[in-house]
Structure 1
Amino acid sequence: MASSSHRRRSRPERRGLRAPAIAVGAVAAVALVVSLVVAFRPDGGTAAAGADKVKPVAGAATNASPTAAVSPSSSPSPSPTSSAAGPSPSTKPSSAAPAKKTSVRASATPAPRKPSSTGGSLAGRIRPGTTYQGVATSYDIGNGDGACSYGPTSDVMTAAMNTADYETSKACGAYVSVTSGGKSITVRITNECPAPCQVGQLDLSQQAFAKLAPLSAGRIPITWTLLSPAVSDTVSIRYKTGSTQYWCGIQAIGHRNPLARLEVRTGGGWQSLARTGYNYFLSEQGAGCGGALRLTDIYGEQLTVEGIAVRANVVQPTRVQFARH
């Protein structure tokens, strides 16, 4: 029994002595097979590394940087570009959409401003789209001159506006449609009708009044509205008698729409001139006399006029006119 027990213990020891030799033989055999396979491959084993690329597991972090071009749409915000004016402000764009860019267009002269969408936002008492009620009377206009200082004219379809609606010559040059008894006429405001003319009243030329009613009627009820008519002429500029580079009065003639402002260009920018009751804009200290002018109508449209010299009491035409409304 003792020898049987000894044999069981000694047999594992003998297998353990043969194990290294068997392992060495197995490794040598595998190496031989591998070397033969590699040797007989068409590429000679040089592409083995590329064939054994390991695909990354989804969600795993990788350190390799892709070399393929990235589509612009794949980036939520564009990279800022350098500017000659200086570095861009350090701002973080919204993740929802890239920040919008704005462009500024430089111009030698101010671009005309589009008419106001509110319709006569710079108008005074006389506003577009409004119907006024009043009465009409008539007077002999003589040579056609009046408080607006336009001078003599052959145009007989004119009227004098009551003082309240004349509004310190703001009504000068306005075209209005006058209706009475089913008849309508168009007249241009060239004069002022002082008291006893009432608010809403127009003192028409006799020729204009006669188209609505006999002169013997004396006084008739009317309604009237502001117009922006078709005109063939452009705006003209006139410097007042006595104007020089040191003091000047400036007047605009032939504007389609009522004039809201007249400005002169100075070293400090555009300067608005005060309007008188006789329809001249005065530059008491001579600022801008003989320089560029900017006209603004009641709709907000602006016209820039250059090249008008100080020539007292001379009507000088321009090439500009306000838009029709």
Structure 2
Amino acid sequence: MSMHETRRAARQRRRRRGLMVGAAAGVAVTSLVVTLVLTMQRDGAGNAGKAPAVAGAPARGTAPPVAPRQKPSAASPTAASATPAARATTPTPPAATSSSPPSASPRAVPATASLAGRIRPRTTYRGVATVYQAGTGDGACLYGPSDDMMIAAMNTADYETSQACGAHVLVRAANGASVTVRITNECPLPCAPRQLDLSEQAFARLAPTSTGRIAITWSLVSPGTAKAISIRYKSGSSPHWCGIQAIGHRNPLARLEVRTGGGWRPLTRTPYNYFLSPDGSGCGGALRITDIYGERLTIDGIALRPDAVQPTRVQFARH
């Protein structure tokens, strides 16, 4: 081989080695780049999972934060568990005693809150007074003729199935005149709630009877009387059926009971002011009467004598 050919062959060998080295370097560089990219992707993925925690969001598996004004349901009692306790300790005030003096304690609720009907003590009502001819003074309460004609008929709503019978009411007119009347009768429609129909004698204490109708205020009173209460059995009463009436009670009656083998039994009141025992239980035995203030009086020795007014030795206290 000539010298020229030898040199050319040497150059070709060096070129091939250069290409091989370059190719290897290229492969190495490519591998390095790929490695760097993969590493960056892995690092980026890890940082992406932590980014919400940096922003303040809760990490997985933990409960979300609770706002300051909200409490978890387990930390506060439910409405169902709280209500009965409130109802057990706070009695509901009676709606009709708004003008009564406040009680010193919520527990000090007077007996009238449950025993009185529409007509409450220590309460003033506004209404009208009309006038009627009362005759002998008898009326729906079936008390019979009255010696005292300072009497009145109560409108049907406030009469309340004879619960107003025997109540004493102080009536005041706008001119300052006043009169105390006893309820012995019922004034049906068109008498309106809070209306009193006065006997001519009682109306004349307030205004001339020719006026016929005046504005009034009225309230329940507990008069000072020395008389005792009387008991009367209704005509037709027997050991098998009886009606019982109390007469002359200072305060309105809330209930009348008879004593039976099983204890005290309350009787049902009628619109004509008798308490009935339809099967005769307790008829002719001991009685117990309760006024709207909660006072109870036990009465013994009243014979089963129909239509006889039998006096007792008891009377309710004055209020």
With the shorter chain as reference, the TM-score category is 0.5 to 0.7
Whole-angstrom CA distance in 1 between matches of 2:128 and 2:188: 14
TM-score by length of 2: 0.65
CA shift, 1:120, in A, is 1.9
Whole-angstrom CA distance in 1 between matches of 2:159 and 2:300: 29
| Alignment equivalent of 2:205, drawn from 203, 211, 214 | 211
| Matching residue's letter, 2:282 | G
| Alignment equivalent of 2:170, drawn from 173, 177, 190 | 177
Whole-angstrom CA distance in 2 between matches of 1:119 and 1:245: 33
C-alpha distance after superposition, 1:9-57 (max 9, x if no partner):
xxxxxxxxxxxxxxxxxxxxxxxxxxxxxxxxxxxxxxxxxxxxxxxxx
1:74 aligns with none
CA shift, 1:156, in A, is 0.4
| Matching residue's letter, 1:131 | T
8 Å Cα contact 1:295/1:304 also seen in 2: yes
The reply on whether 1:155 has 2:148 as its aligned counterpart is yes
CA shift, 1:153, in A, is 1.4
1:120 aligns with 112
2:251 aligns with 257
The reply on whether 1:288 has 2:285 as its aligned counterpart is no
Whole-angstrom CA distance in 1 between matches of 2:226 and 2:111: 23
CA shift, 1:250, in A, is 0.1
2:139 aligns with 146
Whole-angstrom CA distance in 1 between matches of 2:287 and 2:316: 14
1:129 aligns with 122
Give aligned pairs, total.
210
Alignment of 1:237-316 (within 5 A): 237-316=231-310
List gaps (5 residues or longer) in structure 1. 1-115
Secondary structure in 2 aligned to 1:324? coil
Whole-angstrom CA distance in 2 between matches of 1:203 and 1:128: 20
2:312 aligns with 318
- Which structure is higher in helix share? 2
| Matching residue's letter, 1:223 | T
2:79 aligns with none
| Matching residue's letter, 1:245 | P
Whole-angstrom CA distance in 1 between matches of 2:147 and 2:316: 23
| Alignment equivalent of 1:233, drawn from 209, 215, 227 | 227
Whole-angstrom CA distance in 2 between matches of 1:256 and 1:282: 22
* Structure 1 segments (4+ residues) deviating >4 Å: none
8 Å Cα contact 1:119/1:128 also seen in 2: no
The reply on whether 1:164 has 2:157 as its aligned counterpart is yes
Alignment of 1:42-57 (within 5 A): none
TM-score by length of 1: 0.64
| Matching residue's letter, 2:212 | G
Secondary structure in 1 aligned to 2:203? helix
Percent identity of equivalent pairs: 71
RMSD across aligned C-alpha pairs, in angstroms?
Answer: 0.9
8 Å Cα contact 1:292/1:304 also seen in 2: yes
The reply on whether 1:201 has 2:195 as its aligned counterpart is yes
Secondary structure in 1 aligned to 2:220? strand
